[in-house]
């Protein structure tokens, strides 16, 4: 059956962090907003009770909370000319599958990105010049700066209840925080969490080495807090069932606890669940969006007309929706022309894996983002002259895993993997394993992009998205540089055994252990329609009533996690819609 | 958008509600703000698996896989072996469920092998791999040693499994190396997952490493027990011993 819902002022595709943040802003402004979400409704108390949540098998092993490949997957190849093949099993991109999106099960690292990350092109040109860029690198400014975004970073932290120790407030440095952060107008809403033994060993070692350790800001609430929307959040309990789990404790910021309880009180908000959007509809001349088409769980095809269309799905799906809908020009790797699918980035990870001798690290007491970091080698916080790359990494002692199945393979190299020898080795390594992660920047390249797969289809017969990706020379160089720093710190911490790896040394795979779930770009914002899909307000250059929000707008990845930057840019765009677009519908940037 | 459209919210909402009641599909739900009608479906109650009967494996398969499991996690002074800990019961129930049928995998064709980094392309399910792999295990050992796997000496069993792990021993119906990976993954899961799934009897796996189990609050220990040995009596979600 086909049906048409009544026209809304705004339709939002996807109700994760970006969609729910946007919906809260626009419903508060009086607009009638309808959200269409592929996943099912979830309540914190009903769906993630603390009496059933602590279960590793259904959580991080079977990954019940994630969107399954059978629902939608992606094809991957390392370079143009290869045949892309589908990711058939659960892979490293941990996709949301419910109201709340990936914001329900995320690890919770809650970073403001640095001013460098928003203007990498200008900063690199100013300090080093074009000679610093490897061949084929794509580097461009966002059209929006840290200073533009600061009030929105501030607001989002106050919605999320972010915990942390501020390093720079109104230009004044504060001890214990990150001395490299751009100036904030207020401290973190809640205090940083307690540190683990591994965190403290890292702090002591990096301090001796002359670096500046600080607690990683996190979604794990540092104390009782009433957020900006009047919702009470609770302190984190360090239970360790965090990444790939919902939090039934009201202590990990998520759309489900921070926004939806307020949003669902508003009569001008509607969410249609378990319905997948398959098209953005436009006028025949593709000059205006008219709404979206979705398929509900009974296979009925529904249409939701709206004056404004906002897509707020995962990076890859935002890109795919534009390609499926024929909006804006797809990127062509042969000519370098076109914009949709261009400037795709991942994350460059390096690690030092450590085994101590006689520690009791008690790894089960953790959170998804219980980490102590140094930023001395992140972004452009150090001089890159002669290094042959740009960017760097946040280097952190990350205590995010203590669940035994996940740790059962973590025994020193050369130890038995099974038999009596394994039991003995595992018993010891469980209490003596620690890790340092270098979470690195990642820059776009001419040959890294997304388009529609020519062969593989989804359950509705639509082409899957195809990812063409391998690390570029910049990322390989920065990865090795950071790996060596991780190893030096691990040795200073007194580990008996240290193994360093740079994941960029091997070809990209969606299944590499220890790899990231962060992907950015494809629908990037920018200053020039030849190199961006959207203007600085995340408004489509060609279709002025279409806004695509999320990390798909970011033309580069920082040495940070992307969520809070997604929140800030969403709030920035919400303000532009409310204060500029509604008064004068049309392009907000005229060239 | 015209300003007056934004002011017609009340009218639009009324129409939305009416339509929603007409076109209400089975799972898809239209949840209207302020209506209070957005309670989530509670998940089904947890239950302990029934270990009194097999649900997927045959008796012979269960016995055989238990012999393999006990080589991978043998009984010793650190705790009971895999079979005694219930790992075969665990596996049997896993194979009968969505894990066994690879219900969440993308299985559409064409199915072709790619580069190693493109990941597994086979659409064989764990249930199928166990059925074929276990059948062939004895066939291969009979050819090689003239004995079924359980009748080999302990050293022969270890050497045989090492050969599967290293890829030097090959099967015809399944990839022996992949089968080994699955066996090792599942026996570890059975030994270390919550006992309600049938394995980890008496929380033997958790006691091995000092993992407290289904505990949801460590605020009292995060500082007071930092870096210290904790004598833990683990707890399961459902099992009381």
Residues B61-87: b if buried by 16+ CB within 10 A, e if exposed: bbebbbbbbbbbbbbeebbbbbbbbbb
- Predicted pLDDT at B26: 57
A345-379 pLDDT, tens digit each: 999 999 999 999 999 999 999 999 999 999 999 99
Contact between B64 and B81 under an 8 Å Cβ cutoff? The reply is no
Q: Which domain holds residue B129?
A: 59-104+121-209
- List of residues 6+ apart from B131 with CB closer than 8 A: B61
Cβ–Cβ of B214/A54 closer than 8 Å?
yes
Would you place residue A214 in the very low, low, confident or very high pLDDT band (cuts 50, 70, 90)? very high
> Whole-angstrom Cα distance, residue A292 to residue B204?
54
Q: Is residue B15 part of a domain?
A: no
A2 is catalytic: no
Cβ–Cβ of A70/B99 closer than 8 Å?
no
- List of residues 6+ apart from A453 with CB closer than 8 A: A75, A84, A463, A464, A465, A466
- List of residues 6+ apart from B97 with CB closer than 8 A: none
Helices (H), A59-185: 115-118, 120-127, 146-160
> Whole-angstrom Cα distance, residue A538 to residue A550?
9
Which candidate in A70, A72, A88, A544 is best for mutational testing of the B interface (most B CBs within 10 A)?
A: A88
Which candidate in A1, A2, A4, A6 is best for mutational testing of the B interface (most B CBs within 10 A)?
A: A6
Number of domains forming the structure of chain B: 1
Level-2 CATH architecture, domain A2-164+174-581: 3-Layer(bba) Sandwich (3.50)
Would you place residue B8 in the very low, low, confident or very high pLDDT band (cuts 50, 70, 90)? very low
Cβ–Cβ of B8/A300 closer than 8 Å?
no
Tokens of A125: 């040109």
| Residue position matching structure tokens 């996943």 | A39
Q: Is the peptide bond before A433 cis (omega within 30 degrees of 0)?
A: no
For B70, name the nearest residue in chain A, comparing CA atoms only: A419
CB proximity under 8 Å: B 173-212 to A: 184, 187-189, 192-194, 197, 205-206, 208-212
Q: Compute the radius of gyration of chain B from its Cα atoms.
A: 25
Please indicate if any CB of chain B lies within 8 Å of the CB of A42: yes
Cβ–Cβ of B105/A420 closer than 8 Å?
no
Quote the DSSP letter at residue B226: T
State the CB neighbour count (10 A cutoff) for residue B111: 13
Across A79-98, average pLDDT: 97
B91-150 pLDDT, tens digit each: 999 999 999 999 999 999 999 999 999 999 999 999 999 999 999 999 999 999 999 999
DSSP B111-154: -----GGG-------HHHHHHHHHHHHHHHHHHHHSS-GGGS-H
Please indicate if any CB of chain A lies within 8 Å of the CB of B40: yes
Return the ∠ at Cα A141 (arms to A140 and A147), rounded to 5°: 165
Q: At what angle do helices A197-208 and A473-492 cross, to 10 degrees?
A: 100
Please indicate if any CB of chain A lies within 8 Å of the CB of B214: yes
B181-223 pLDDT, tens digit each: 999 999 999 999 999 999 999 999 999 999 999 999 999 999 9
The alpha-carbon gap from A530 to the nearest alpha carbon of chain B, in Å, equals 27
> Whole-angstrom Cα distance, residue A193 to residue A237?
10
Secondary structure class of A32 (helix, strand, coil): coil
Which of A154, A151, A153, A159 has the alpha carbon at shortest distance from A228?
A: A159
- Residue B142 CA: distances (Å) to CA of B61, B68, B136, B139: 16, 16, 10, 5
Cβ–Cβ of A55/B107 closer than 8 Å?
no
Which of A289, A534, A295, A339 has the alpha carbon at shortest distance from A451?
A: A339
Quote the DSSP letter at residue A209: T
Q: Is residue B234 part of a domain?
A: no
The alpha-carbon gap from B142 to the nearest alpha carbon of chain A, in Å, equals 23
State the CB neighbour count (10 A cutoff) for residue B3: 9
Mean pLDDT (chain A, rounded): 97
Provide the sign of the torsion angle of the four alpha carbons A284, A287, A290, A293, taken in this order: positive
Whether the predicted pLDDT of A164 surpasses 90: yes
Would you place residue B35 in the very low, low, confident or very high pLDDT band (cuts 50, 70, 90)? confident
Tokens of B188: 């570890």
A9-20 pLDDT, tens digit each: 999 999 999 999
Maximum distance among all Cα pairs of chain B, rounded to whole angstroms: 86
Residues B17-36: b if buried by 16+ CB within 10 A, e if exposed: eebbeebebeebbbbbbeee
Which of A166, A193, A197, A159 has the alpha carbon at shortest distance from A181?
A: A166
Would you place residue B241 in the very low, low, confident or very high pLDDT band (cuts 50, 70, 90)? low
CB proximity under 8 Å: A 171-200 to B: 194, 196-197, 200
Residue from A118, A384, A445, A518 carrying the catalytic annotation: A518
Tokens of A36: 């269409």
Q: Is residue B46 part of a domain?
A: no
Which of B234, B180, B241, B227 has the alpha carbon at shortest distance from B208?
A: B234
Cβ–Cβ of A298/B27 closer than 8 Å?
yes
Which of A50, A462, A8 has the alpha carbon at shortest distance from A242?
A: A50
Quote the DSSP letter at residue A218: B
Would residue A230 be called left, alpha or beta, if left means φ above 0 and alpha means ψ between -120 and 50 degrees? left
> Whole-angstrom Cα distance, residue A372 to residue A355?
18
Across A506-523, average pLDDT: 97
Whether the predicted pLDDT of A551 surpasses 90: yes
Contact between B41 and A44 under an 8 Å Cβ cutoff? The reply is no
Would you place residue B36 in the very low, low, confident or very high pLDDT band (cuts 50, 70, 90)? confident
Residues of B in contact with A68 (CB under 8 A): 103-105
Quote the DSSP letter at residue A29: T
| Residue position matching structure tokens 């992907």 | A519
Choose among A272, A409, A456: nearest Cβ to B108.
Answer: A456
CB proximity under 8 Å: B 147-176 to A: 158, 161, 165
Quote the DSSP letter at residue A468: E
- Predicted pLDDT at B28: 82
- Residue A15 CA: distances (Å) to CA of A77, B16, B148: 30, 19, 56
B61-81 pLDDT, tens digit each: 999 999 999 999 999 999 999
> Whole-angstrom Cα distance, residue A379 to residue A381?
6
Please indicate if any CB of chain B lies within 8 Å of the CB of A32: yes
Contact between A463 and A456 under an 8 Å Cβ cutoff? The reply is yes
Across A193-210, average pLDDT: 98
Stretch (H or E) spanning A4? strand A2-4
Cβ–Cβ of B6/A9 closer than 8 Å?
yes
Please indicate if any CB of chain A lies within 8 Å of the CB of B44: no
Contact between B95 and B103 under an 8 Å Cβ cutoff? The reply is no
Whether the predicted pLDDT of A258 surpasses 60: yes
Would you place residue A559 in the very low, low, confident or very high pLDDT band (cuts 50, 70, 90)? very high
- Residue A579 CA: distances (Å) to CA of A157, A573, B74: 22, 10, 68
pTM for the model: 0.95
- When mean pLDDT is compared across A2-6, A46-50, A227-231, B10-14, the lowest value belongs to B10-14
Would you place residue B44 in the very low, low, confident or very high pLDDT band (cuts 50, 70, 90)? confident
Across A433-455, average pLDDT: 98
> Whole-angstrom Cα distance, residue A404 to residue A427?
10
Whether the predicted pLDDT of B3 surpasses 60: no
CB proximity under 8 Å: A 435-454 to B: none
Domain map (residue ranges) of chain A: 2-164+174-581
> Whole-angstrom Cα distance, residue A206 to residue A490?
10
Whether the predicted pLDDT of B5 surpasses 80: no
């Amino acid at each position: 059956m086909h049906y048409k819902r009544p026209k809304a002022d705004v339709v939002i595709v996807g109700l994760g962090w970006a969609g729910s943040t946007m919906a809260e802003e626009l419903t508060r402004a009086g607009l009638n907003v309808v959200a269409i979400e592929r996943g099912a409704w979830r309540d914190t108390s009903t769906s993630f009770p603390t009496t059933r949540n602590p279960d590793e098998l259904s959580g991080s092993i079977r990954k019940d909370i994630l969107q399954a490949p059978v629902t939608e997957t992606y094809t991957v190849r390392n370079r143009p000319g290869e045949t892309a093949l589908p990711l058939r099993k659960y892979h490293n991109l941990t996709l949301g599958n419910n109201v709340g999106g990936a914001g329900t099960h995320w690890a919770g690292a809650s970073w403001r990105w640095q001013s460098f990350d928003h203007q990498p092109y200008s900063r690199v040109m100013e300090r080093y010049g074009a000679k610093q860029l490897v061949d084929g690198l794509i580097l461009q400014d966002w059209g929006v700066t840290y200073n533009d975004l600061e009030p929105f970073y501030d607001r989002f932290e106050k919605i999320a209840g972010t915990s942390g120790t501020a390093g720079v407030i109104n230009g004044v440095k504060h001890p214990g925080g990150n001395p490299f952060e751009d100036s904030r107008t207020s401290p973190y809403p809640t205090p940083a969490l307690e540190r683990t033994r591994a965190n403290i060993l890292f702090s002591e070692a990096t301090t001796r080495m002359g670096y500046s350790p600080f607690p990683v800001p996190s979604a794990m609430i540092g104390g009782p807090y009433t957020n900006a929307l009047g919702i009470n959040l609770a302190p984190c309990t360090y239970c360790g069932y965090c990444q790939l789990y919902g939090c039934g404790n009201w202590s990990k910021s998520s759309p489900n606890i921070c926004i939806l309880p307020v949003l669902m009180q508003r009569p001008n908000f509607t969410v249609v669940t378990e319905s997948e959007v398959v098209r953005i509809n436009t006028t025949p001349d593709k000059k205006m969006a008219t709404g979206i088409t979705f398929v509900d769980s009974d296979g009925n095809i529904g249409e939701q007309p709206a004056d404004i269309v906002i897509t707020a799905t995962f990076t890859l799906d935002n890109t795919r929706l534009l390609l499926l809908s024929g909006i804006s020009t797809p990127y062509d790797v042969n000519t370098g022309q076109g914009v949709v699918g261009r400037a795709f980035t991942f994350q460059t990870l390096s690690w030092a894996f450590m085994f101590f001798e006689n520690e009791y690290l008690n790894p089960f007491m953790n959170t998804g983002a219980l980490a102590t970091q140094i930023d001395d080698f992140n972004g452009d916080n150090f001089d890159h002259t002669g290094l042959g790359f740009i960017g760097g990494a946040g280097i952190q002692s990350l205590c995010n895993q203590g669940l035994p199945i996940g740790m059962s393979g973590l025994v020193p190299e050369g130890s038995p993997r099974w038999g009596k020898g394994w039991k003995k080795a595992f018993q010891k390594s469980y209490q003596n394993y620690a890790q340092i992660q270098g979470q690195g920047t990642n820059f776009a390249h001419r040959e890294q992009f997304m388009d529609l797969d020519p062969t593989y289809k989804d359950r509705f017969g639509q082409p899957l998205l195809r990812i063409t990706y391998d690390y570029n020379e910049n990322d390989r160089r920065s990865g090795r540089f950071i790996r060596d720093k991780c190893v030096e710190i691990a040795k200073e911490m007194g580990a008996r055994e240290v193994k360093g790896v740079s994941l960029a040394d091997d070809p990209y795979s969606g299944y590499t252990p220890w790899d990231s779930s962060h992907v950015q770009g494809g629908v990037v914002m920018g200053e020039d329609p030849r190199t961006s899909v959207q203007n600085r307000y995340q408004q489509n250059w060609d279709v002025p009533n279409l806004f695509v929000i999320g990390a798909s707008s970011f033309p580069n990845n920082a040495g940070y996690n992307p969520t809070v930057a997604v929140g800030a840019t969403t709030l920035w765009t919400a303000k532009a819609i409310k204060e500029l677009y509604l008064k004068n519908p049309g392009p907000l940037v005229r060239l | 958008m015209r300003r007056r459209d934004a002011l017609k919210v009340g009218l639009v909402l009324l129409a939305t509600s009416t339509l929603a009641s007409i076109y209400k599909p089975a799972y898809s739900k239209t949840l209207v703000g302020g209506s209070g009608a957005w309670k989530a479906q509670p998940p089904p109650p947890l239950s302990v698996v029934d270990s009194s009967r097999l649900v997927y494996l045959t008796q012979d398969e269960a016995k055989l896989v238990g012999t393999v499991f006990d080589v991978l996690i043998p009984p010793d002074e650190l705790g009971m072996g895999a079979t005694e800990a219930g790992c075969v019961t665990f596996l049997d129930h896993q194979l009968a469920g969505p894990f066994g049928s690879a219900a969440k995998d993308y299985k559409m064709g064409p199915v072709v092998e790619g580069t190693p980094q493109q990941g597994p392309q086979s659409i064989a399910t764990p249930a199928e791999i166990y059925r074929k792999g276990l059948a062939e295990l004895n066939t291969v050992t009979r050819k090689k040693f003239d004995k079924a796997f359980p009748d080999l000496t302990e050293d022969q069993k270890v050497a045989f499994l090492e050969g599967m792990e290293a890829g030097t021993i090959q099967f015809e119906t399944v990839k022996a190396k992949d089968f080994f990976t699955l066996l090792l993954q599942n026996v570890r899961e059975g030994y270390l997952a919550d006992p309600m799934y049938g394995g980890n009897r008496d929380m033997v796996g958790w006691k091995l490493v000092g993992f407290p189990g289904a505990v949801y609050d460590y605020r009292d220990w995060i500082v007071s027990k930092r870096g210290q040995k904790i004598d833990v009596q683990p707890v399961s979600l459902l099992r009381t011993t």
